[in-house]
């Protein structure tokens, strides 16, 4: 995951789940440090310097290596607190490019984080510790009595590096799994994830058959049979859904139909390892589609489209009556069709965004969509736009006073 600010002010918890393995836990981030006879190896660095400082205070010896499992902010932002003299920072070859992109797109990213996490829109300083050594493929580090086998992959990001420590029979897999949740393969705000390569990376982990898996940074641990079940469930659901989308693309199905047709196999629907609490099936389908498919949807009207506002303005002028649109949207809401109602109402809001009654009705529709939505990302989005409409209505009523 990549949340900024989300965890500010959250208390860091510390655990020592295995001999020589220590972890720091925040609600959606974590890091680990492994004790060797020649110093410590830190895997991931938490989301902020404040949280990382508390973790650093727990580490009594020198830190020789920091390994980034990937470049998401909740894995790299605390790194400066873990730097000792000569500490090597190891990452995928593609990780520095990611950090550069975060700087380049700081304003845009502040906005999308505000929607995705429903937090204030603040551009935070992008200060990173860049890797001192990068690589692609496999690399082994020996330190004292431990070996660290590093493997790069493309999965949630293009810069994944997961780690196996044979002496402990432990794999640190970053966000290849984020807990007991449906894999975070689709994110409406972010570039595409790598579904098929993600499954292959998990299959490599499964081949090693580690007794312990640390994931979500290192905040979550699976042991023994649970580790194997979590891997099996994630691999199967990714491969199955990926293949469904590929088949639908080959059939020429439109993406707006596809997201409603793709289905989780029955025997995985209630899997305790795949709860749709963070991402969701439709986001997964969009994501695989975007990876393999261009923007054009086989409709010539959409090859070089006019701005949406202009098109909706034309349609609205043909309808000629805002009440017709408002009433139809209300009818659809009564028929439990809030999404369709939202799209009908969109004709009016795009044609004229200042109609208070339309904005009030949109709040109703978004509340309806949010009420039974357990996916954190879509629920936050509905609430974000409810608040935007409320702000707009309040600002109008103040002007009228
Ligand atoms: Zn991540």
Q: Residue 10 above 80 pLDDT?
A: no
CA of 28 to the centre of ligand 1 (A): 10
The 10s digit of each residue's pLDDT in 44-62 is: 999 999 999 999 999 989 9
Mean model confidence pLDDT for the chain? 95
pLDDT average, residue stretch 151-171? 98
The helix-helix angle for 195-208 and 281-292 (nearest 10°) equals: 110
Is residue 196 within 8 A of residue 202, CB to CB? The reply is: no
Q: In this prediction, what percent of the chain has a pLDDT beyond 90?
A: 90
State the Cα–Cα distance between residues 269 and 264, nearest whole angstrom. 6
**What pLDDT does 2 receive?**
46
The 10s digit of each residue's pLDDT in 316-339 is: 999 999 999 999 999 999 999 999
CA of 382 to the centre of ligand 1 (A): 23
CA of 18 to the centre of ligand 1 (A): 24
Q: Domains in the chain and their CATH numbers? A: 13-238 (3.60.15.30), 306-400 (1.25.40.880)
Which residue has better confidence, 12 or 7? 12
**What pLDDT does 3 receive?**
46
Q: Residue 310 above 80 pLDDT?
A: yes
State the Cα–Cα distance between residues 11 and 146, nearest whole angstrom. 30
CA of 74 to the centre of ligand 1 (A): 7
**What pLDDT does 397 receive?**
85
Which residue has better confidence, 240 or 3? 240
CA of 97 to the centre of ligand 1 (A): 16
CA of 59 to the centre of ligand 1 (A): 24
CA of 2 to the centre of ligand 1 (A): 5
Count Cβ atoms below 10 Å from residue 231 Cβ, excluding itself.
Answer: 24
State the Cα–Cα distance between residues 265 and 263, nearest whole angstrom. 6
Is residue 350 within 8 A of residue 308, CB to CB? The reply is: yes
pLDDT average, residue stretch 230-243? 98
CA of 70 to the centre of ligand 1 (A): 7
CA of 390 to the centre of ligand 1 (A): 32
**What pLDDT does 331 receive?**
98
**What pLDDT does 297 receive?**
96
CA of 198 to the centre of ligand 1 (A): 12
């Amino acid at each position: 995951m990549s949340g900024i600010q989300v965890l500010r002010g959250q208390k860091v918890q510390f655990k020592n789940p295995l001999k020589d393995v220590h972890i720091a836990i925040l609600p959606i981030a974590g890091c680990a440090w492994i004790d060797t006879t020649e110093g410590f190896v830190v895997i991931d660095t938490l989301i902020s310097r404040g949280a990382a400082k508390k973790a650093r205070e727990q580490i009594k010896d020198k830190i020789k290596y920091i390994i980034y499992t990937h470049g998401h902010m909740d894995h790299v932002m605390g790194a400066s607190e873990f730097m000792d003299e000569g500490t090597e920072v190891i990452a995928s070859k593609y990780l520095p490019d990611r950090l550069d992109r975060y700087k380049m797109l700081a304003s845009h990213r502040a906005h999308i984080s505000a929607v995705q996490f429903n937090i204030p829109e603040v551009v935070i300083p992008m200060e990173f510790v860049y890797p001192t050594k990068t690589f692609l493929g496999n690399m082994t580090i020996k330190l004292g009595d431990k070996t660290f086998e590093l493997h790069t992959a493309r999965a949630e990001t293009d810069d994944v590096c997961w780690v196996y420590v044979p002496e402990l029979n432990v794999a640190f897999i970053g966000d290849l799994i984020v807990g007991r949740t449906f894999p975070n393969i689709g994110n409406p705000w972010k570039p595409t994830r790598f579904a098929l390569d993600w499954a292959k990376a998990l299959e490599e982990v499964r081949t090693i058959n580690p007794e312990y898996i640390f994931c979500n940074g290192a905040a979550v641990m699976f042991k023994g049979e649970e580790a194997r079940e979590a891997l099996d469930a994630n691999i199967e659901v990714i491969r199955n859904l990926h293949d469904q989308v590929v088949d639908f693309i080959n059939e020429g199905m439109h993406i707006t139909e596809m997201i409603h047709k793709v289905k989780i196999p029955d025997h995985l629907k209630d899997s305790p390892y795949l709860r749709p609490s963070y991402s969701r099936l439709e986001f997964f389908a969009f994501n695989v589609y975007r990876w393999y498919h261009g923007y054009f949807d086989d409709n010539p009207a959409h090859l070089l489209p006019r701005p949406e506002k202009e098109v909706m303005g034309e349609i609205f002028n043909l309808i000629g009556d805002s009440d017709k649109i408002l009433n139809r949207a209300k009818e659809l809401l009564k028929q439990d069709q809030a999404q369709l109602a939202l799209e009908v109402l969109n004709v009016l809001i795009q044609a004229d965004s200042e109609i208070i009654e339309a904005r009030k009705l949109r709040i109703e529709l978004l509340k309806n969509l949010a009420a039974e939505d357990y996916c954190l990302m879509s629920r936050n989005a509905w609430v974000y736009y409810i608040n935007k409409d409320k702000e707009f209505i309040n600002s109008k009523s103040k002007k009228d006073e």
